[in-house]
Amino acid sequence: MPIYEYECLQCGKNHEIMQKFSDAPLTVCPGCGGEVKKLISNTSFVLKGGGWYVTDYASPERKRAMDSEKGASENKSKETKTETKTESKPEPKKEAAGAK
């Protein structure tokens, strides 16, 4: 169920009320009984991951373009992995016999 914000015109308090889509908007403040107005606020959810039209039901041309982009990025990551350099460490110096 979505959460709606209301502001009381009498006491000035903001209220967050969980309501069904089919519920009528509030008209009375739950705190003081004054008149309330519904506020427009930011959404509190983010859509992530697969399962969207663009990725799952796209046209064949779109799928080919996405596959070619994916292949290009994989090739770049393989190239960077093979180009790693190894560092050689100098051998530790041995102490000369009889040196103090």
Q: Has residue 80 been placed in a domain?
A: no
Residues 54 and 35 in one domain: no
State the Cα angle at 14 between 10 and 15, rounded to 5°: 110
Q: Has residue 56 been placed in a domain?
A: yes
Strand order in the sheet with 3-8: 14-18, 3-8, 36-39
Answer whether residue 42 shows pLDDT above 80.
no
| Residue 90, in any domain of the structure | no
Q: What distance in Å separates the CA atoms of residue 83 and residue 31, rounded to the nearest whole number?
A: 67
Task: Give the chain's domain count.
Answer: 2
Residue 58 lies in a domain: yes
My answer on whether 35 and 8 are in the same domain is: yes
* Host domain of residue 52: 47-75
Decide: helix, strand or coil at residue 5: strand
Judge if pTM exceeds 0.75.
no
Amino acid identity of residue 56, one-letter, is: D
Asked if the structure places residue 59 within a domain, the reply is yes
pLDDT at res. 94: 67
For residue 13, what pLDDT is reported?
A: 92
